[in-house]
Amino acid sequence: MRYELEITPFWKILASSDDYYPPDTLVLFQSAEGVDVGRIINPVAKTEDLVKSKILRPINPEDQLKIEELKEYEDFCFIELKNAIEEFKLDMKIVYTHCQFDEERVIFYFTSERKIKFRKLHRHISQRLNKRVVIKQIGSRDYARILGGIGPCGRNLCCAMFLKDLKSISLGWRGNRKFMPHQVNYPEFVVNYYVA
């Protein structure tokens, strides 16, 4: 069987297993990057996508203890990167940190109004943590999805409630609705329309 797994709010993969797992089950899986924990979202019937990850087993009480320890380490990493961002005077906001279960790498997610060059920051934080580090920029709507909030229409943000696939917003679309550029880029002003 194939399953869709959620590792972080911004990272989902397909993984295979011979066993059945109900939704919301936490499992260990093996991928090219190593061993990590994911939450089963749902089984996937058929897909053209190549499945490279394999579910090893559901987590046990010992794994749960390690996950709690990793959460503390993630908090430490979050603070370290936040301090380094201030030190390098970069215009970026770190929003999420994930430490892989096998402790081989740490993934940071950040948001920014513009593209950021962070090579020096990456080198610095990799040396500081002595781990493989991945730093990924996410869009404002991805950030708003986990942050939640109220849109300009007065309702909960569409991207947080029901939109699964966030399509690109073109300049023409924004202009037709009289939105200013900052209203599309910040989570508190996330555009609340479904783009077909």
pLDDT tens for the chain, 196 residues: list them: 899 999 998 899 999 999 999 999 999 999 999 999 999 999 988 766 778 899 999 999 999 999 999 999 999 999 999 999 999 999 999 999 999 999 999 999 999 888 889 999 999 999 999 999 999 998 877 777 777 777 777 777 676 666 666 666 555 555 555 555 555 544 444 444 333 3
Q: Which residues contact 40 (CB under 8 A, 6 or more apart)?
A: 3, 4, 5, 21, 22, 23, 24, 25, 26, 27
The percent of the chain in helix, strand and coil, each rounded to the nearest 5, is: 35, 30, 35
Measure CA of the first residue to CA of the last residue in the chain; give whole Å: 31
Total-model pTM: 0.79
Q: Which residue, 154, 157, 153, 155, is CA-closest to 144? A: 157
Instruction: Give me the pLDDT at residue 187, please.
Output: 45
Instruction: Classify domain 63-137 at the CATH topology level.
Output: GMP Synthetase; Chain A, domain 3 (3.30.300)
Query: Where would I find the beta strands (DSSP E) of the chain?
Result: 2-8, 11-16, 26-31, 34-44, 53-58, 93-99, 105-111, 132-137
- Beta-carbon neighbour count of residue 20 at 10 Å? 10
Domain boundaries, the chain: 2-59, 63-137, 149-189
Tokens encoding 41: 């979202």
- Alpha-carbon gap, residue 129 to 16, rounded angstroms: 32
Instruction: Quickly list DSSP for 153-175.
Output: TSSB-HHHHT--S-----HHHHH
Are 143 and 95 in contact by the 8 Å Cβ rule? The answer is yes
Tokens encoding 99: 């430490």
Instruction: Give me the pLDDT at residue 190, please.
Output: 43
> Dmax over Cα atoms in the chain, in whole Å?
55
